[in-house]
Structure 1
Amino acid sequence: MTEPVRLSKRMSELGLCSRREADEWIEKGWVRVDGVVVAVLGSKVLPHQRVTVERQAAAEQSKRVTILINKPMGFVSGQAEDGYKPAVVLVNAESRWSEDQVDTEFHPKQLRSLVPAGRLDIDSVGLLVLTQDGRVAKHLIGEDSSVEKEYLVRVKYSKPGTLPEHELKRLNHGLIMDGKPLRHAKVFWMNEDQLSFTLREGKKRQIRRMCDMVGLKVIGLKRVRIGNVKLGDLPTGQWRYLRPDEEF
């Protein structure tokens, strides 16, 4: 017999919402299992049972915003740490990009539950996603996520000459980190001191550690794309909304 699982976990697996959203909806009586309202947190369901949500849940979810920031150096992605400010402090009416094509009006309430969907180190710059939508967060940073993330990385080789071809091949495939082989990457030279990295995973300081393994020192790192969404001309320190026609 298949084991029952928490309703909130099952809703996340089905792609309906995040677990946090699921708990909120359950408490509000917006979730039905086989047509019956389930309003008790911690309730469990069997995989074959039908889970549906009320229209109010979908309406609330549609109001949740996803914001793209061109993060400058010196800001952390998430919670403030060691005296450094989180990137969310950059989101206000004044710092919104003047060429944002979305007609949504900014309101401070949009800052509630706005969390980073993936990290970008304090000394890295470029595209950072902040979202209120649990589906977006799960898609970008969930355990099964394979969304591509592209970076431009300025490097300096620590040995005489240039990086050997076999070491470049190791960057593409063959490195082991934290005891596990890294997924295939796409790494190639843009010019004599800048590499393009495209990854499908996001271990902490992964690119810097990969470079260190082959004798490269990272001088600068900029994320320019997540899935199909590009940083483009978004100015440093400014933000815009994810457009309805954009998908990661």
Structure 2
Amino acid sequence: MTEPVRLSKRMSELGLCSRREADEWIARGWVRVDGAIVSELGSKVLPHQRISVERQASAQQARRVTVLLNKPMGYVSGQAEDGYKPAVTLVNAESRWKEDKASQQFHPSQLRSLVPAGRLDIDSVGLLVLTQDGRIAKQLIGEDTAIEKEYLVRVQYTKPGRLPEADLKLLNHGLSLDGKKLLPAKVRWQNDDQLSFILREGKKRQIRRMCEAVGLKVLGLKRVRIGRVTLGNLPPGQWRYLGSDEKF
């Protein structure tokens, strides 16, 4: 006998929405289980039961925006801290990239619940995704995400000579952080002082700590790609909408 699970959890597992969205839709009477409306929060379902959502829920979801920002140094990804501004303060009508091809018009209501899907620390720059869409957040930062994130990292070797080949191999696979083995990465030299890192996870200050472990000091770190979406020519401090034809 399969155990019943919370309806909101099951909706999230199916990729219909985030758990928070699911609770909101359930409370509004927008969710049906096997054709019957379920409006009680905390309701449970069995895995074989059919879940559908009303048109109002789909319409609300379609209005949710996802923004791509080229984060400059000195901004934090999430909540304001230690006097530093959050990256979302850069999203306004004036700082929208002039070459953004999306037909959407900017409206301040789009800033409501616009949250970062993944982080870039205060000293790092490049592609930061801010979204109102729980499905995209889950796709990018969910526990089972397999979406690659690519970084260009300027480094300085703190020991005599050049980084040994064995240590480059270690960056690719074999390092542990906080007592846990890291997933395999793709790390290669771009030029004499710059490495390309492609990761499928995002532990706090992961690249800086990986570099430290093999005697490399990070001088600059820029995220240039998340899945199939690239930073491209987006200028620092400016943003654009994720296009309707773009998928991570």
TM range (shorter): over 0.9
1:188 match: secondary structure = strand
Deviation digits for residues 168-195 of structure 1, max 9, x if unmatched? Answer: 0000011111211111100000111000
Match of 2:72 in 1: 72
Q: Distance in 1 between matches of 2:14 and 2:228?
A: 23
Q: Distance in 2 between matches of 1:37 and 1:82?
A: 47
Deviation digits for residues 92-130 of structure 1, max 9, x if unmatched? Answer: 000000000001000000000101000000100000000
Match of 1:166 in 2: 166
User: What is the CA-CA distance between 1:132 and the residue it aligns to?
Assistant: 0.3
**Letter of the aligned partner of 1:182 in structure 2?**
L
Match of 1:152 in 2: 152
Match of 1:223 in 2: 223
2:101 match: secondary structure = coil
Deviation digits for residues 58-105 of structure 1, max 9, x if unmatched? Answer: 111011000000000000001111111000000000000000000100
Aligned length: 248
Deviation digits for residues 25-49 of structure 1, max 9, x if unmatched? Answer: 0011000111110111111111111
Q: Distance in 2 between matches of 1:211 and 1:38?
A: 51
Q: How does 1:26-105 map to 2 (within 5 A)?
A: 26-105=26-105
1:211 match: secondary structure = helix
Q: Distance in 1 between matches of 2:138 and 2:222?
A: 23
Q: Distance in 1 between matches of 2:182 and 2:221?
A: 19
**Letter of the aligned partner of 1:195 in structure 2?**
L
Q: What 5-or-longer segments of structure 1 have no aligned partner?
A: none
* Runs of 4 or more consecutive aligned structure 1 residues displaced over 6 Å after TM superposition: none
Identity over the aligned pairs, expressed in percent? 79
User: What is the CA-CA distance between 1:11 and the residue it aligns to?
Assistant: 0.2
**Letter of the aligned partner of 1:9 in structure 2?**
K
**Letter of the aligned partner of 1:220 in structure 2?**
G
Deviation digits for residues 122-175 of structure 1, max 9, x if unmatched? Answer: 100000000000000000000000100000000011100110000000000111
